[in-house]
Amino acid sequence: MQTSTVDHAHTDTHHDHVHGHEEHHHEETFLTKYIFSQDHKMISKQFLITGIFWGIVGGLLSILFRLQLGWPNETFPFLETFLGKWAEGGKISSEFYYAMVTMHGTILVFFVLTGGLSGTFANLLIPYQVGTRDMASPFINMLSYWFFLGASVVMLLSFFIQTGPASGGWTAYPPINGLRDTGVNLGSGLGFDLWILGMTLFICSSLLGGLNYIATVLNQRTKGMSMFKMPLTMWALMFTAVIGVLSFPALLAGCVLLEFDRLLDTSFYLNNIIINGQLLGYKVVLLFCSSTCSGSWVTRRCISSFYQLWVL
Amino acid sequence: MTTFLVFAILVLFFMVLVLIAKASELASELKDGKRAYDNQSKWNGYFLLFFLVAMFAGSAYCFKVLMPVMVPKAVSVHGVKTDLLFNTTMVIILIVFVLTQAALFYFAYRYNESKGHQAYFYPHNNTLEVIWTVIPTIVLTGLIAMGMYEWMHMFNVEARDKKMMVVEVTAKQFNWMVRYSGKDGKFGDRIIDQEHITPTNELGIDWTDKNSHDDFLADKIYLVKGKPVLFKLGAQDVLHSFFLPHFRVKMDCVPGIPTEFYVEPTTTTVEMQEYLSTQPWWQTINPETGEPRWKTFKYELACAELCGKSHYGMQKEVVVVTQQEYDEWLSKQTAMYESVKSTLPEKTEVVLASMEAPVSEIDLKGAAETGIENQLIAFINDASRPVDKTTWFSFDRLLFETGKATLKAESNEQLDNMVAILNAHPAVELKIGGYTDNVGKAADNLKLSDERAKAVKAELEKKGIAASRLNAEGYGDQFPVGDNKTEDGRAKNRRIDVRVTKK
Ligand code: HEM
Ligand SMILES: [Cu+2]
């Protein structure tokens, strides 16, 4: 109820304001109001709905693999109905188990907590609590959601390919994820390519959103609201955004280099490892070729700095 | 398909229920004009209160039921301290959890929205803010300090027992290779390259290193109670994690980065079984074995880093025994070298120039008294030294053009000396071995060394030695005599050796 009153007040002032200008401008179509909306409240709802969807998917996955954990020797024929070859005879295959755990982690950490929660609450609360009409850039805000949706579509698609979704753990460590070899790990095939594509889109979304939150908090506070009078929530959301903006580019770089290793035969993360009794050495030595150690270290650093997000 | 239909029907049924509830709510709102909202908010309050009670009861129940099933007490010196740290943290968190959650849900119930009730506006209180910032800071700093202190103890290299055991564990998809150093207490070197890593030598052990000859692979990890052990950890393909839950040990195994963990076991497997036989859950019968659970208790090593499709199968048993039992077990192990010995390429010992040897009466050109020619002659003349496959004589003045199998002119002196020796001892037959340093591709080196050995053979034949008395083979960059890391060493490794095959 409360939000809808505010909604009204807001649209009313909006009305008065634009009246003097062009008449047709403020007439919102279904498309601009609900789909390609630049209104922070609507975008927040879009994030919320997408986030809830992912919450349900992530939760369902945890139920499925908990079934296997809790009753390792039972068979559940209905699983075969739903999952087909991934649960032959009603038992989840080890490969699909790992794929589900990996996607559960990915979905809950990135698509629910970061996208769903941060996207929903930052978008809804920041303009309200710093006292501004909307975000610093409503258009970028819209893009942020659409990148998120794009990322969601790609991640969801990866469930439906023949070799299944990524299955090397949500941390995506090399070398297991660095080899585009489904013999080493089934999900390291196309599934992981899609994972990286999805994460790339997701990171774009987070960066666009984060920059917007920071700019809004720093520049659009209402008269008299100094940084220290700002509610604690705003500090928390701003810091989350700052840490995100600092750590996500590193994660993105790590992911892209990993994909180079997979598709272009570079050796950022892979050398001197033995796969099927074959020693993989420097395949293509690039100018700043790094060893396995520094490679996995970079990813670890990105991930661990990323962890700090949850401290707040 | 039927399951799917049933499932779809259930979902639709649920949706219909929700819609009916919604519609009846709207209908009652229309009928008596009362806002359903007030009622809802009251019920929300009750539900939240109920949730609070249910959550605490559920958590308490889980503690009661699951605690006895959990991994039992720590059986390592540091593990006891880790547990203390864990339990301290757990208690503090539990207190805060209970207080904050109780307050959260109670407040939601007590102050739910109702008509005519205005929220009390209370924006700021400095004292409160200081309190809830300072107290957690102190508590967290304390916990972190405790953790750091224990960590530094666990990883303090100086404080390690000098008489500790060392066990090398290498992880790969999908098993653990556990190597003990055998009686000498020293591990043979490992060389990680195409040539040393083979199906029969997965660890790439350098068999020319004598320390490797008593190393053995164990099918279970045997440890001695009260005797510290350093696990040297590594991986060959992807990340794995060395996890000994009962010992509170977990350490990543990373290809290319050696890691280690120092542990002191405090309880033998048998003692642990005795201890567990007093624990209620462990006394229950395991339906799979038909025996009480404590009877089949084993310490276990597991992989704790998702490493591929059979990750779950990366397990190994760990057995803690007394020193006496350990010694007994040790004496039953067979060294890896025993099983590979027969498959190794011949040759392990290279005789170099500059060792003492009696000067022979054969006329040699430019050969020093301690030269390799005299070594070879001494060997031929000494009846007590049998012909074997391991004694090679390294000829130091047979030189080739770089990268080719063409002998340089200055090699002639030593070639002539070889001819002289062969002519003086007509019964002697020789095998000529060619070698290179390790620069370039192994396959190319092998080919070049072979061509060079054959070039020497051809040259000797030209000088009148019967082809039947000579044999030649290239060994590439195997069997280095010098250090391939220095130019000097590499020069020593580019060479021709000779072995007596008959005398
Ligand atoms: C619905 C309740 C949940 C249940 C029952 C659940 C259950 C599990 C279980 C059993 C695992 C371990 C599976 C395995 O390693 O075999 C797991 C992994 C994981 N969960 Fe959850 N979880 C839940 C909610 C969440 C939430 C809200 C998050 C978000 C922070 C989350 C993040 C993760 C992550 C990051 C992993 C590790 C994934 C990996 O190893 O790649 N889970 N979950
Ligand atoms: Cu593993």
Q: Is residue A266 scored above 80 in pLDDT?
A: no
Domain shared by B483 and B425, yes or no: yes
- Strand order across the B495-502 sheet: B349-351, B391-395, B495-502, B429-435, B470-474
Q: Is residue A39 over pLDDT 70?
A: yes
Q: State the CATH number of the domain containing residue A170.
A: 1.20.210.10
Higher pLDDT residue, B24 or A123? A123
Q: Tell me the average pLDDT across A166-180.
A: 86
Residue A73 lies in a domain: yes
CA distances from B26 to A109, B29, B32, B40 (A): 38, 5, 10, 13
Q: Cα(B298)–Cα(B317) distance, rounded to whole angstroms?
A: 7
E strand spans, A130-205: none
Same domain, B293 and B242: yes
* Among A130-144, B175-189, B353-367, B475-489, the least confident range: B353-367
The confidence score (pLDDT) of residue B503 equals: 81
User: Is residue B138 domain-resident?
Assistant: no
Please report, for the domain that includes residue B283, its CATH number: 2.60.40.420
- Select the residue of B199, B307, B310 nearest A176 (Cβ to Cβ): B307
| E runs forming strands in chain A | 273-275, 278-280
Residue B187 neighbours by CB distance under 10 Å: 20
β-sheet bridge partners, residue A249 = none
pLDDT interval class at B352 (50, 70, 90)? low
Q: Which of A74, A170, A180, A185 is best to mutate for the B interface (most B CBs within 10 A)?
A: A185
Pocket probe for ligand 1: among A98, A101, A112, A299, the residue whose CB has the most ligand atoms within 8 Å is A101
Least confident span in A277-281, B20-24, B318-322 = A277-281
Residues B326 and B179 in one domain: yes
Residue B218 and residue B176: Cα distance in Å, rounded?
Answer: 10
- What is the mean pLDDT of the segment spanning B44-70? 92
Provide the domain count of chain B: 3
Strand partners for B394: B497
Gyration radius from chain B CA atoms: 38
Residue B353: predicted pLDDT: 60
Kindly state if the Cβ of A100 falls inside 6 Å of ligand 1: no
Q: What is the mean pLDDT of residues B400-421?
A: 88
Q: How much is the pLDDT for B255?
A: 86
Flag whether residue A168 sits within 8 Å of chain B, measured between CB atoms: yes
Sequence letter at residue A37: S
Contact in structure between A124 and A40 (CB atoms under 8 Å): yes
Best residue among A57, A62, A100 to mutate for probing ligand 1, ranked by most atoms within 8 Å of CB: A62
Q: What is the mean pLDDT of residues A90-111?
A: 92
Q: Report the gap between the CA of A20 and the closest CA in chain B (Å).
A: 38
CA A44 to chain CA mean position, Å: 15
Instruction: Give the model's pLDDT for residue B502.
Output: 85
Contact A170, A109 (CB under 8 A): yes
pLDDT digits (tens, 9 = 90+) for A196-205: 999 999 999 9
Q: What is the pLDDT of residue B56?
A: 93
B256 shares contact with chain A (CB less than 8 Å) = yes
Residues of chain B with pLDDT > 90, as a percent, come to 40
Flag whether pLDDT at B37 surpasses 80.
no
In 3D space, the residue among B18, B159, B155 whose CA is nearest the CA of residue B82 turns out to be: B155
Are B201 and B54 within one domain? no
**Do B415 and B332 belong together in one domain?**
no
Q: What angle do CA A223, A224, A227 make, to 5 degrees?
A: 110
One domain, residues B278 and B411:
no
**Does B287 lie at the interface with A, CB-CB under 8 angstroms?**
no
Mean pLDDT of all residues in B400-411: 87
Q: How high is the pLDDT of residue A107?
A: 95
| Pick from B382, B364, B385: nearest CA to B373 | B364
Task: Compute the mean pLDDT over every residue in chain B, rounded to the nearest whole number.
Answer: 87
What average pLDDT does range B395-420 have in this prediction?
A: 87
Backbone angles phi, psi at B119, to 5 degrees: -70, 140
Residue A57 located in a structural domain? yes
Please determine, for residue A105, whether its predicted confidence score (pLDDT) is greater than 90. Answer: yes
Residue B367 lies in a domain: no
Does residue B316 sit in the same domain as residue B454? no
pLDDT of amino acid B140: 95
From the CB of residue A76, how many other CB atoms can be counted at a distance below 10 Å?
A: 19
Mark whether B92 and B176 lie in a shared domain.
no
- Report the alpha-carbon angle B378-B379-B380, nearest 5: 90
Instruction: Return the pLDDT at A304.
Output: 46
Q: Which two tokens stand for residue B352?
A: 């170099």
Averaged pLDDT, B88-102: 93
What are the residues whose beta carbons fall under 8 Å from the beta carbon of B390, sequence distance 6 or more? B346, B347, B348, B349
Determine the pLDDT at residue A125: 94
Instruction: Confirm whether A14 is domain-assigned.
Output: no
Lookup: tokens for B421 = 């020796």
- Closest by CA to A302, choosing from A239, A272, A258, is A258
| Structural domain includes residue B143 | no
Q: Which of A272, A206, A218, A274 is nearest to A243 (CA)?
A: A206
B80, B114, B148 — which closes off a domain? B114
CA dihedral sign, ordered A79, A81, A83, A89: positive
CA separation, residue B100 to residues A5, A121, B105, B120 (Å) = 32, 22, 9, 20
| Placement of tokens 């092998």 in the chain | B446
- Positive or negative, the CA dihedral A126, A128, A129, A130 is positive
CB-based contact B337:B216 (threshold 8 Å): no
Structural domain boundaries, residue B405: 372-502
Give the position, in ligand 1's atom list, of the atom nearest the Cα of A310. 30
How many helices and strands (H and E) does chain B possess?
12, 17
Per-residue confidence (pLDDT) for residue A307, from 0 to 100: 44
Is residue B155 in a domain? no
> Which residue blocks in B382-427 are alpha helix, DSSP H?
412-424
> Are B217 and B299 within one domain?
yes
Does B200 reside within a domain?
Answer: yes
Query: Does residue B127 fall inside a structural domain?
Result: no
Q: CB of A83 within 8 Å of any CB in chain B?
A: no
Buried b (16+ CB within 10 A) or exposed e, B251-283: bbbbbbbebbbbbbbbbbbeebbebbeeeeebe
pTM for the whole thing?
0.74
**Whether residue B384 is found in the same domain as residue B468:** yes
Mutation target among A71, A98, A100, A274 for the B interface, most CBs of B within 10 A: A274
Q: How many CB atoms lie within 10 A of CB A109?
A: 19
Are A175 and B173 in contact (CB < 8 Å)? no
* Among chain A residues, CA nearest to B174: A184
Pick the closest to residue B461 from B489, B497, B419, B495 (CA basis): B419
Residue B437 located in a structural domain: yes
Q: Answer yes or no: is A281 within a domain.
A: no
DSSP code for B157: S
**Boundaries of domain holding A141:** 34-247
- Look at residue A163 and tell me if it is in a domain: yes
In degrees, rounded to 5, the angle at the alpha carbon of residue B432 between the alpha carbons of residues B428 and B436 is: 160
CA distances from residue B461 to A95, B395, B416, B501, B502 in whole angstroms, order as listed: 64, 18, 11, 17, 18
Statement: residue A36 has pLDDT above 70? yes
Looking at B394-463, list the stretches that DSSP marks H as alpha helix, in order from N- to C-terminal side. Answer: 412-424, 442-462
Residue A309 domain-assigned?
no
Q: How far is CA B68 from CA B203, B281, B300, in A?
A: 40, 6, 18
- Residue whose CA is closest, atom 37 of ligand 1? A105
Omega of the bond leading into B174 within 30 degrees of 0 (cis)? yes
Query: How far is it, in rounded angstroms, from Cα A264 to Cα A258?
Result: 10
Residue A288 has pLDDT above 60, yes or no: no
Choosing from B52, B84, B114, the residue where a domain stops is B114
Task: Kindly state whether residues B313 and B173 are assigned to the same domain.
Answer: yes
Partners of residue A279 on adjacent β-strands: A274
- From chain A, the residues in CB contact with B173 under 8 A are 184
Residue B347's pLDDT is 52
How far is residue B3's CA from residue A78's CA, in Å, rounded to a whole number? 6
Question: Is the model more confident about A108 or about A174?
Answer: A108
Q: Read off the pLDDT of each residue in A53-82 and give the average, rounded to a whole number.
A: 90
The answer to whether residues A120 and A74 touch, using CB atoms and an 8 Å cutoff, is no
- Please tell me whether residues B246 and B321 are part of one structural domain: yes
Specify if A241 maps to a domain.
yes
Query: Under a CB-based contact definition with an 8 Å cutoff, are residues A264 and B229 in contact?
Result: no
Q: Which of A176, A273, A293 sits opposite B308 (nearest CB)?
A: A176
**Given this model, what pLDDT does residue B90 score?**
93
pLDDT value for A277: 62
pLDDT average, residue stretch B118-133 = 86
Question: What is the number of domains present in chain A?
Answer: 1
Nearest-ligand number for the alpha carbon of A64: 1
pLDDT one-digit tens code per residue, B156-178: 999 898 889 999 999 998 899 99
Whether residue B354 is contained in a domain is answered as no
Residue B346 pLDDT level (bands cut at 50, 70, 90): low
Tell me, what's the ipTM?
0.79
A107 DSSP 8-state letter: I
Does residue A160 surpass a pLDDT of 90? Answer: yes
| CATH (domain of B415) | 3.30.1330.60
Nearest partner of A69 among A88, A87, A85, A91, judged by Cα: A91
The answer as to whether A272 is a domain residue is: no
Instruction: Quote the minimal CA–CA distance from A36 to chain B in Å.
Output: 28
Tokens of B362: 């054969």
- Which of B365, B351, B354, B345 has its CA nearest to residue B500? B351
Residue A123, φ and ψ in degrees, nearest 5: -65, -40
Cβ–ligand 1 distance for A110 under 6 Å, the answer no
- Strand pairing class (B240-244; B249-253): antiparallel
A2 CB neighbours in chain B (<8 A) are none
**Rounded to an integer, what distance in angstroms lies between the CA atom of residue B496 and that of residue B456?**
8
Measured by CA distance, the residue closest to atom 15 of ligand 1 is A101
Residue of A173, A184, A271 with shortest CB distance to B239: A173
pLDDT beyond 70 at B345: no
